[in-house]
A and B are shown apart, each in its own frame.
Chain A
Amino acid sequence: MSNPNTDVIQGTLDMLILKTLSLEPLHGFGIARRVEQISRGVFKVNPGSLLTALQRLERAGWLDSEWRQTTNARRAKFYRLTRAGKKQLDLETADWSRRASAIARLLRQEG
Chain B
Amino acid sequence: MSVWRQLTYGFRSLLHRSKADNDAADEVRQYFEETVAAWQERGLTEEDAKRAARLELGNMTVVREQVRSFGWENAFRTLASDLGYAARQLRSHPGFAIVSVLTLALGIGASTAIFSAVDPILFEPLPYPHASRILTIWNTYQGARSELSFGTYRELAQRSRSFESMTIFEPWQPALTGGEQPEWLEGQGVSASFFHMLGVAPVLGRDFQPSEDVFNGPKVVILSDRLWQRLFHGDPGILGRAIKLDGDTFTVIGVMPHSFEDVLSSSTDIWTPAQYDTRQIAKDFTSGAWGNHLRMAGRLRPGVSRAQAIQELAQIAGTPWPDFPRPRWASLNRGLIVDSLQDDIARTVKPALLAVLGAVLLVLTIACVNVINLLLARSAQRHGEFAVRAALGASKRRIVRQLITESLLLAALGGALGLGVAVAGVRALIALSPPGLPRVNAITVDTMAFAFAFAVTTLIGVVTGLIPALHVSREEVRPRLEQTSRRTAGGHAFTRRALVVTEVALALVLLVGAGLLLHSMRRLLAVDPGFNPAHLLTMQVQTSGRQFDDLASAPGAGDSVRRRFFRKALDAVRRVPGVKQAAFTSALPLSGDPSWVTTYGAQFENDDPTGGYNVTRYAVGPDYCQTMGIPVLSGRCIDEKDTITSPQAALISNSLARTEFPGKNPIGKRLHVGPTNRPWYVIVGVVADVKQDSLAVNQPDAVYLSTEQTWFADDTLSFVIRTRGDLALLAPAIKNAIWSVDNDQPIVRVATMDALLAVTDAQRSFVLILFEAFGLAALALAAVGMYGVLAGSVVERTREIGVRAALGASRGNILAMILRDGMRLTALGVLIGLCGAIVAGHALVSLLYGISSLDWMTYLGVVALLTAVAGGACWLPAWRAARVDPSITLRAE
Contact = CB atoms under 8 A, between A and B. Distances in A.
B37 A52 contact: no
B76 interface: no
A60 B35 contact: no
Contact of A61 (B1, B26, B30, B71): B1
Contact of B67 (A55, A61, A75): A55
Interface in A24-41: 27-30, 32-33
A29 B62 CA distance: 17
Q: Contact residue range for chain B?
A: 20 to 34
B26 A75 contact: yes
B1 A84 contact: yes
A74 B6 contact: no
Contact of B70 (A52, A72, A74): A52
Contact of B5 (A30, A48, A61, A76): A61
Contacts of A77: 23, 26-27, 30
A59 B2 CA distance: 6
B890 interface: no
Interface in B6-61: 6, 9, 23, 26-28, 30-31, 33-35, 37-38, 57-58
A33 B2 CA distance: 28
Contacts of A55: 67, 70-71
B762 to A, nearest CB: 67
Contacts of A76: 27, 30, 34
B158 interface: no
Interface of A: 27-30, 32-33, 47-48, 51-52, 55-56, 58-61, 70, 72, 74-77, 84
Contacts of A47: 28, 31, 57-58, 63
Contacts of B6: 59
B38 A51 contact: no
B9 A58 contact: yes
B610 interface: no
A87 B194 CA distance: 74
Contacts of A32: 31
Interface of B: 1-2, 5-6, 9, 23, 26-28, 30-31, 33-35, 37-38, 57-58, 62-63, 66-67, 70-71
B34 A29 contact: yes
Given A47-B28, A47-B31, A51-B27, A59 B5 contact: yes
28 contacts: A27-B30, A27-B31, A28-B30, A28-B31, A29-B30, A29-B34, A30-B34, A33-B38, A47-B31, A47-B57, A48-B62, A48-B67, A51-B67, A55-B67, A55-B70, A58-B5, A59-B2, A59-B6, A59-B9, A59-B71, A60-B5, A61-B1, A72-B37, A74-B30, A74-B33, A76-B27, A77-B26, A84-B1
Contacts of A28: 27, 30-31
Nearest to B27: A77
Contacts of A51: 27-28, 31, 63, 66-67
A61 B1 CA distance: 7
Contacts of B66: 48, 51-52
A21 B71 CA distance: 22
Nearest to A62: B2
A61 to B, nearest CB: 4
Nearest to A44: B56
B247 to A, nearest CB: 84
Contacts of B28: 47, 51
A60 B7 CA distance: 11
A72 to B, nearest CB: 7
- Which residue of B6, B30, B35, B58 has the most chain A CB atoms within 10 A of its CB atom? B30
Contacts of A33: 38
B2 A60 contact: yes
A20 B217 CA distance: 98
A74 B67 CA distance: 20
B70 A56 contact: yes
Contacts of B58: 47-48
A70 B31 CA distance: 12
Given A48-B67, A75-B30, A84-B1, 16 more contacts: A27-B34, A28-B27, A29-B35, A47-B31, A48-B62, A51-B28, A51-B31, A51-B66, A52-B66, A55-B67, A60-B2, A74-B30, A74-B33, A76-B27, A76-B34, A77-B27
A51 B63 CA distance: 8
B66 to A, nearest CB: 4
